[in-house]
Amino acid sequence: MKATLNTLLRTSYVAGLGILIGLSAAVIANFFVAGILWMNDSLLISPRSRMMASSEWLLLIATVMVPALGGLAVGIIRHFIDEKRFHGPPDIIATVQTRQGVPATQPGLLSGIASLLSLGSGASVGQYGPLVHLGGLLGSLWSRLFRMDISMGNIAIACGVAAAISTIFHAPIAGILFAQEVILRHFSLRALAPIAVASIVGYVAANTILPQPPLLQIESAEILHFWEFGLFLLLGMASALVAVAYMQSILWVGRCASAMPIPAITRPAFAGAALGVVALWFPEILGTGGENLRFALIDEAFSRWELAILLILKILATAWCLGMGFAGGVFSPALLIGSLFGALFGSLVATLSGVNSSAVVVYAVCGMVAVTAPVIGAPMTTVVIVFEMTGHYPLTIAALSSVALASLTTSRLFGRSLFDRQLHQRGIDLSGGRSKALLTAHTLQALINPSCLQLSPRASVNDAMLAMSQAQVAEAYLVDAAGRYLGTVHLHALISAAPQDEARQYAPPDDLYLYSDTPLWESMQALREFVGERVPVVDRQYRLIGAVVESDVIRAYLDILADMRREEYAPN
Amino acid sequence: MRLINIWLICVSTSLPVLAAASPEPQPTPLVVASWGGAYQAVLEEVLFEPFTAATGTQVKTVPYSGGLEILEATPPDLIDMTKNAAMAACEQGQLIPLTFDDLPDGADGTPARRDFIDSAFSECALTHLLYATVIAYDTRAFKGFIPSRVHDLFNLQDFPGKRALQDIPDANIEWALRSFDVPRESLYPLLSTPRGMGLVFERLDTLRSHTLWWQAGNEPVELLESGEAVMASGYNGRFFAAIAEGSPIQIIWDSQIQEHQTWAIPTSATNQAAAQQFIRFATSTQRLAAVAERIAYGPARHSASALLHKHPDGFDIRPHIPTHPYNNQTAITKDVGWYARVRDHLHKRFEQWQSGCSP
């Protein structure tokens, strides 16, 4: 009876958590999107407001000045973030994967504001990345308020992310999948319940509190021939190349930007002004480009040349904005780039085959998901988003065909996603699985025992043996006057030595030492060949800090893996 | 009603004095610009005549079929305007600002502010009904397949014959873009781009030699009845009136375009006091419901919608109202703010296209 009651209480707690996080994330997501739309309308970025503008001159000035001034504000905000970079989904992924507990709040919130300003002032960046990040941050704030442990905290983060996705795409199942596929990277029953609740609450709230129209509504999309599925696979492979080009451009501009002779604080302003000037001829590159996404689904809207030009411009504009320091995501531009590419592919198919193939909308949707999925590393989520937004089953299967090969090809050419690549550049390698990432994230620091026997390099064998027997240890570390580590002497090597010799002669030349910032993962690799009890630990100036006991390293290794398993497999 | 009573008391007490001063104590008549046809007949019956009976002020009507030209020269005292025209005229200072504090409460006691539908109050205009521009067809023209979606307006293959369309961009451009499966929410953002307008004119081009352009609200009904056109755009109330009298017309509710019809007073109107009095009189719960029950437009007050039931001929009026849930599923809400701003530009491009130039 008591056990049943406990279970019910526990379940209510989990459900309550989901409701709380889902509701708050949904509200924030809708306000964020409404804020962007409001800014775009007031600042003459959205086509509707541009059409309604009272004078040509006003429009001209706004097109250049709004992104420039937006960039200036973004540059100033960035200045207040210690790492001088904006936070986004990779930071959430890193927090969860390496069990760091909570993502940094202040840079996170500043990044959210900067994203809003970037998007509001027309920068060619995505809105979903910031929303995922804010959702995760919100989940973690709740977890802190309720003093949850790291495992529950990670689930809370996943809840926030799921609710954000569910709200903005009106796609609760995709929200759940995204949280598990991209953030948690494992499927567990324990996490599913609160995430599902949060996702559903997000979906319900999305339609009631300041509701925003869904991204994509497709009324009809017939697939006329079964052989076209072969083309969808081909489109997937081709899209992978587009995705890789897109991601490489972003990384490349990022690298080049730091070499530019422009101070970092004004770099986004410069980028915004340049974007605005190009937008005088191609206003399509401003903002997230929702209108063009819709046009890409219409056969007659673009000529083939227009598709190709806009595709290239959008890749360049997004890489330019993100690389030069605007804040924002990569998802929405990827959707547009992919759909333009898909439409181009579809129209080429129609011309080359001479057969009445399916409408361009099918190819545009396939291209859209095939470019997006590898960029964010979420093949299943993107396919399910298509299903939930269109309710169209054959279209979903077509999208799946494209995504499958696109993800495979991209993972070979580039890696799992842009997020993972960015994390790798920061030293977090998720390609070897979560256990490796976790063990890489922890260093030896906490395991160092500072009390160890230190000897002068001129100590004799006799002195050394005496000191060792007094300290009851079998090894001693030779340290010079500056505290620098010179070697280790072992008791067994000294026993048969002449008592007056310098002990230093008997120190093995290739003894093992570790740096204090060595990750556990590398320490374990180093200890593989090690025979002994303790390993000396030095800092980067070779000063001896202490020693670690081998069994402590092994215990830490086992504890970390046990925590991870508990998070992934524990029943509740 | 109370205000009217006070007014009546004032009039009656001053009558002997006026009678002594002049042999003809007639108040200045109220000049109302109205849309003619079946719609005006209803207004005569439930608004104009009772107003004269209650106040003694005669109502004179002048014909009106939309636009702002009526505001030039000598404008009427009161205009039954579409909301987007009223907003554009208001911005140009051609209408007087209205106050809404003295509107009567709803019949169920709801304060007027909450009783009227969303955005019924604008600076210079008060919404009194919600009408829809719809596509209708001649039921005699098609056997077997019948048109049912906005796409069918542009489908000359399955539904050949002349189309009667209104001689303005409104509705035509929305429908043209809707026929590309553009969702309702995206219509105006897309219509704001050169690419969107390009698609619109591409679509309208397919109808170019099959279109009869109409101007006054009763023309599409006549063109369908006479068989000159097989499909026509028009105001739902006009089609309803014809259907109620047995005309072979059927309304396609898909993508109906809903807009507010408002009362507005020109700045240079000579009888503004009577116009304001008329607005209060004509927008009470009972008057709004009475109009809607006869011409099948949506009343601007919630309390009036709740009263709707039967047409004077005895049949249920509710399924004929544009805002009925069954008709409302794919309704487009006209973006009047957008129209008010882009009106001149839009009309110029439309006329360019009509004259055969590629815009």
pLDDT tens by residue, B234-244: 999 889 989 98
Closest residue on chain B to A359 (Cα): B180
* Residues in chain A where the model's pLDDT stays below 50: 572
Q: How far apart are CA B181 and CA A364, in angstroms?
A: 15
CA nearest A454: which of A415, A430, A489?
A489
Q: How far apart are CA B89 and CA B103, in angstroms?
A: 23
Q: How far apart are CA A366 and CA A368, in angstroms?
A: 5
Contact between A283 and A63 (Cβ < 8 Å): yes
Closest residue on chain A to B183 (Cα): A217
Residues 207-246 in A contacting B (C-alpha not used; CB under 8 Å): 213, 217-220
Distance from CA of A392 to the nearest CA of B (A): 15
Contact between A490 and A510 (Cβ < 8 Å): no
Q: Do residue A177 and residue A276 come from a single domain?
A: no
Q: Do residue B158 and residue B122 come from a single domain?
A: no
Residue B264 confidence (pLDDT): 95
Residue whose token pair is 């081998």: A550
A219 in any annotated domain:
no
Size of interface A-B (CB pairs under 8 A): 63
Q: Do residue A385 and residue A238 come from a single domain?
A: yes
Q: Do residue A294 and residue A337 come from a single domain?
A: yes
Q: Do residue A29 and residue A89 come from a single domain?
A: yes
Residues of A in contact with B185 (CB under 8 A): 213, 217
Q: How far apart are CA B321 and CA A234, in angstroms?
A: 51
Q: Do residue A373 and residue A457 come from a single domain?
A: no
Residues of B in contact with A47 (CB under 8 A): 189-190, 192-193, 196
B180 Cβ contact list (under 8 Å, min separation 6): A298, A300, A301, B199, B203
Contact between A36 and A120 (Cβ < 8 Å): yes
Q: How far apart are CA B287 and CA B303, in angstroms?
A: 11
Q: Do A52 and B189 touch (CB under 8 A)?
A: no
Given a cut of 90, whether residue B231 has pLDDT beyond it is yes
Q: Do A47 and B180 touch (CB under 8 A)?
A: no
- pLDDT tier, B357 (very low <50, low <70, confident <90, very high otherwise): low
Which regions of B193-289 does DSSP assign to beta strands (E)? 211-214, 231-235, 249-264
Closest residue on chain B to A291 (Cα): B190
Q: How far apart are CA A454 and CA A441, in angstroms?
A: 30
Residues of B in contact with A46 (CB under 8 A): 189, 192
Q: Do A300 and B192 touch (CB under 8 A)?
A: no
Tell me which residue range forms the domain holding B158.
Answer: 132-258+317-354
The mean per-residue pLDDT over the stretch B101-126 comes to 89
> Domain tally for chain A?
3
Q: Do residue A13 and residue A113 come from a single domain?
A: yes
Q: Do residue B287 and residue B154 come from a single domain?
A: no
A117 in any annotated domain:
yes
Q: Do residue A452 and residue A423 come from a single domain?
A: no
Q: Where are the alpha helices (DSSP H) in A1-55?
A: 2-42, 47-52
Q: Do residue B95 and residue B216 come from a single domain?
A: no
B207 in any annotated domain:
yes
B16 in any annotated domain:
no
Q: Do residue B231 and residue B173 come from a single domain?
A: yes
The mean per-residue pLDDT over the stretch B176-198 comes to 92
Q: How far apart are CA B128 and CA B287, in angstroms?
A: 10
A223 in any annotated domain:
no
- DSSP letters spanning A68-93: HHHHHHHHHHHHTSTTSS---HHHHH
Q: Do residue B177 and residue B286 come from a single domain?
A: no
Percent of chain B with pLDDT over 70: 92
Q: Do residue B124 and residue B63 come from a single domain?
A: yes
Dig out the tokens for B285 from the structure. 């719960």
- Find the helix or strand (DSSP H, E) in which B63 lies: strand B59-63
Q: Do residue B238 and residue B176 come from a single domain?
A: yes
Q: What's the number of CA atoms in the CB half-sphere (13 Å) around residue A370?
A: 37
Residue B272, exposed/middle/buried by CB under 10 A (0-12, 13-18, 19+)?
A: middle
Tell me which residue range forms the domain holding A313.
Answer: 228-431
Q: Do residue A195 and residue A241 come from a single domain?
A: no
CA nearest A192: which of A202, A203, A184, A182?
A184
Q: Do residue A7 and residue A151 come from a single domain?
A: yes
Q: Do residue A192 and residue A313 come from a single domain?
A: no
pTM (two decimals) = 0.83
The mean per-residue pLDDT over the stretch B320-328 comes to 86
The per-type count for chain B, helices as H runs and strands as E runs, is: 14, 11
Q: Do A295 and B196 touch (CB under 8 A)?
A: yes
Closest residue on chain B to A221 (Cα): B181
Q: How far apart are CA B344 and CA B339, in angstroms?
A: 9
Residues of A in contact with B337 (CB under 8 A): 52
B173 in any annotated domain:
yes
Contact between B304 and B230 (Cβ < 8 Å): no
What's the CATH code of the domain at A54? Answer: 1.10.3080.10
A217 in any annotated domain:
no
Q: Do residue B169 and residue B301 come from a single domain?
A: no
CA nearest B74: which of B31, B35, B28?
B31
B349 in any annotated domain:
yes
Q: Do residue B230 and residue B136 come from a single domain?
A: yes
Which of helix, strand or coil describes residue B78?
strand
B84 in any annotated domain:
yes
Given a cut of 90, whether residue B220 has pLDDT beyond it is yes
A568 in any annotated domain:
no
Q: Order of strands across the sheet with A454-455?
A: A454-455, A475-479, A485-490
Q: What is the mean pLDDT of chain B?
A: 88
Q: How far apart are CA B121 and CA B310, in angstroms?
A: 28
Closest residue on chain A to B182 (Cα): A294
Q: Do residue A199 and residue A272 come from a single domain?
A: no
List the single residue in B186, B192, B199 with the smallest CB-CB distance to A300: B199
Q: Do residue A410 and residue A447 come from a single domain?
A: no
Q: Order of strands across the sheet with A544-549?
A: A514-515, A534-538, A544-549
A96 Cβ contact list (under 8 Å, min separation 6): A136, A154, A157, A158, A183, A184
Which of helix, strand or coil describes residue A339?
helix
Which of helix, strand or coil describes residue A439?
helix
> Domain tally for chain B?
2
What's the CATH code of the domain at A542? Answer: 3.10.580.10
Residue whose token pair is 């490796």: A436
List the single residue in A46, A217, A298 with the smallest CB-CB distance to B199: A298
DSSP bridge partners of A543: A484
Q: Where are the alpha helices (DSSP H) in A80-207?
A: 89-97, 105-120, 128-145, 150-169, 172-178, 189-206
- pLDDT tier, B5 (very low <50, low <70, confident <90, very high otherwise): very low
Q: Do residue B299 and residue B204 come from a single domain?
A: no
Residue B3 confidence (pLDDT): 42
Q: How far apart are CA B202 and CA B180, in angstroms?
A: 11
B235 in any annotated domain:
yes
Given a cut of 50, whether residue B21 has pLDDT beyond it is no
Q: Do residue B337 and residue B222 come from a single domain?
A: yes
Given a cut of 60, whether residue B18 has pLDDT beyond it is no
- pLDDT tier, B17 (very low <50, low <70, confident <90, very high otherwise): very low
Q: Do B188 and A48 touch (CB under 8 A)?
A: yes
Which of helix, strand or coil describes residue A396?
helix
pLDDT tens by residue, A371-415: 999 999 999 999 999 998 888 899 999 999 999 999 999 999 998
Q: Do residue B252 and residue B268 come from a single domain?
A: no
Handedness of CA A209, A215, A220, A224 (dihedral sign): negative
- Find the helix or strand (DSSP H, E) in which B333 lies: strand B332-333
DSSP state of B154: G
Distance from CA of B289 to the nearest CA of A (A): 30
Hey, is the C-beta of A301 within 8 angstroms of any chain B C-beta?
Answer: yes
CA nearest A84: which of A327, A441, A375?
A327
- DSSP letters spanning B123-152: TTEEEEEEEEEEEEEETTT-SSS---SGGG
CA nearest B273: which of B19, B57, B1?
B57
Q: How far apart are CA B178 and CA B171, in angstroms?
A: 10
The last residue of one of the domains, among A392, A411, A431, is A431
Distance from CA of B150 to the nearest CA of A (A): 13
Dig out the tokens for A343 from the structure. 């439409």
What's the CATH code of the domain at B243? Answer: 3.40.190.10
Given a cut of 90, whether residue B73 has pLDDT beyond it is no
Residues of B in contact with A298 (CB under 8 A): 180-182, 199
Residue A54 confidence (pLDDT): 77
pLDDT tens by residue, A461-490: 888 888 888 888 888 888 888 888 888 888
B336 in any annotated domain:
yes
Q: How far apart are CA B149 and CA B135, in angstroms?
A: 9
Percent of chain B with pLDDT over 90: 61
Q: How far apart are CA A344 and CA B31, in angstroms?
A: 60
